[in-house]
Chains A and B, each alone.
Chain A
Amino acid sequence: MTPGRYRGGGGGPSARESGAAAIWKGAASFAVLLCLLMCGVLRVLWCFSLGSGNFVTPVVGERFCEASVNGRSEWFPEPNVCSDKRVFVSLLLAAPEMENRNLSRMMSFGISDVALECVMGYIDDPRDRDAISQVCRRWYHIDSITRKHITIALCYSTTPERLRKRFPRLESIKLKGKPRAAMFNLIPEDWGGYAGPWVSEIAGAFNCLKNIHFRRMIVQDADIEVLVKARGHMLIGLKLDKCSGFSTDALRLVARSCRCLRTLFLEESSIIENDGEWLHELAVYNTVLEALNFYMTELRAVSWQDLVLLATNCKFLTSLKISECDLLDLVNFFNAATALEEFGGGSFNEQGGEVQKYQSVRFPPRLCRLGLSYMGTNEMPIIFPCAGNLKKLDLQFTLLSTEDHCQLIQQCPNLEVLEVRNVIGDRGLEIVAQRCKKLRRLRIERGEDEYEDEQGKVSQRGLSAVAQGCLELQYMAVYVSDITNAALECIGTFSKNLYDFRLVLLDREERITDLPLDNGVRALLRGCTKLQRFALYLRHGGLTDVGLRYIGEFSQNIRYMLLGYVGESDRGLLGFSRGCPDLQKLELRGCCFSERALAHAVMQLTALRYIWVQGYNASPDGTDLLAMARKFWNIEFIPPQQLYVEGTPVAEQPAHILAYYSLAGRRTDYPNTVVPIYPV
Chain B
Amino acid sequence: MSKSAAVIDFFHIEKQNASAKPPPPPPASPPGRTAGAPFRGIQSLVSRINPQLLKTVMAASRPAGTRPPPHSSSPSSPTVVPLPVLNPAASRGSTAASQLPTETAPLTIFYNGTVAAFDVPRDQAEVIIKMVETGITSCPAPRKESSSSSSLADGGQLEGDLPIARRKSLQRFLEKRKGRLATASPYHEGTTPPQAC
Taking Cβ atoms with an 8 Å cutoff, the residues of A that contact B are: 181, 183-186, 268, 296, 351-353, 355, 373-374, 376-378, 396-397, 399-401, 404, 421, 423, 445-448, 452-453, 504, 506-507, 537, 540, 564, 568, 589-590, 592, 614-618, 620-623, 626, 637, 639-642, 645, 648-652, 654-655, 672-673, 675-677, 680
Across-interface contacts of B97 in A (CB, < 8 A): 642, 649, 651-652
- Sorting the interface of chain B by its residue count into under 10, 10 to 19, 20 to 34 or 35 or more gives 35 or more
Bound Cα distance A374, B174 (Å): 10
Q: Does B146 contact A (CB under 8 A)?
A: yes
- Interface pair B180/A423, CB less than 8 Å apart: no
- Interface pair B171/A645, CB less than 8 Å apart: yes
Rounded to whole Å, the gap between the CB of A679 and the closest CB of chain B is 9
- Given known pairs A377-B192, A654-B1, A677-B25, the reply for A639 and B166 (CB within 8 Å) is no
Which single residue of chain B is at the shortest CB-CB distance from A186? B165
Q: Does B24 contact A (CB under 8 A)?
A: yes
Bound Cα distance A378, B192 (Å): 8
Across-interface contacts of A445 in B (CB, < 8 A): 167, 170
Mark interface residues in B142-161 (1 if CB within 8 Å of A CB, else 0). 00001110000010111111
- Interface pair B148/A353, CB less than 8 Å apart: no
A617, A652, A675, A676: the one contacting B147 at CB < 8 Å is A652
Q: Does B29 contact A (CB under 8 A)?
A: yes
Across-interface contacts of B169 in A (CB, < 8 A): 183, 268, 296, 396-397
B146, B168, B173, B188: the one contacting A183 at CB < 8 Å is B168
Which single residue of chain B is at the shortest CB-CB distance from A618? B2
B98, B162, B164, B188: the one contacting A648 at CB < 8 Å is B98
Across-interface contacts of B180 in A (CB, < 8 A): 374
- Given known pairs A401-B196, A654-B2, the reply for A396 and B170 (CB within 8 Å) is yes
Interface centre among B104, B119, B161, B164 (most CB of A within 10 A): B164
Bound Cα distance A560, B103 (Å): 37
- Interface pair A640/B3, CB less than 8 Å apart: yes
Across-interface contacts of B24 in A (CB, < 8 A): 620-623
A186, A447, A615: the one contacting B158 at CB < 8 Å is A615
- Given known pairs A621-B24, A623-B25, A672-B31, the reply for A352 and B193 (CB within 8 Å) is yes
Rounded to whole Å, the gap between the CB of B158 and the closest CB of chain A is 5
- Interface pair B173/A396, CB less than 8 Å apart: yes
Across-interface contacts of B27 in A (CB, < 8 A): 621-622, 637, 639, 675, 677
Residue contacts A-B, CB under 8 angstroms, 24 given = A183-B168, A184-B165, A268-B169, A296-B169, A352-B184, A374-B177, A448-B174, A453-B197, A507-B163, A540-B154, A568-B157, A590-B161, A615-B160, A618-B159, A621-B25, A621-B28, A637-B27, A639-B31, A639-B33, A642-B97, A654-B1, A654-B148, A654-B159, A675-B31
Taking Cβ atoms with an 8 Å cutoff, the residues of B that contact A are: 1-4, 24-33, 94-95, 97-98, 103-104, 119, 146-148, 154, 156-174, 177, 180, 184-185, 188, 191-194, 196-197
Across-interface contacts of B119 in A (CB, < 8 A): 652
Bound Cα distance A154, B92 (Å): 41
Rounded to whole Å, the gap between the CB of A564 and the closest CB of chain B is 8
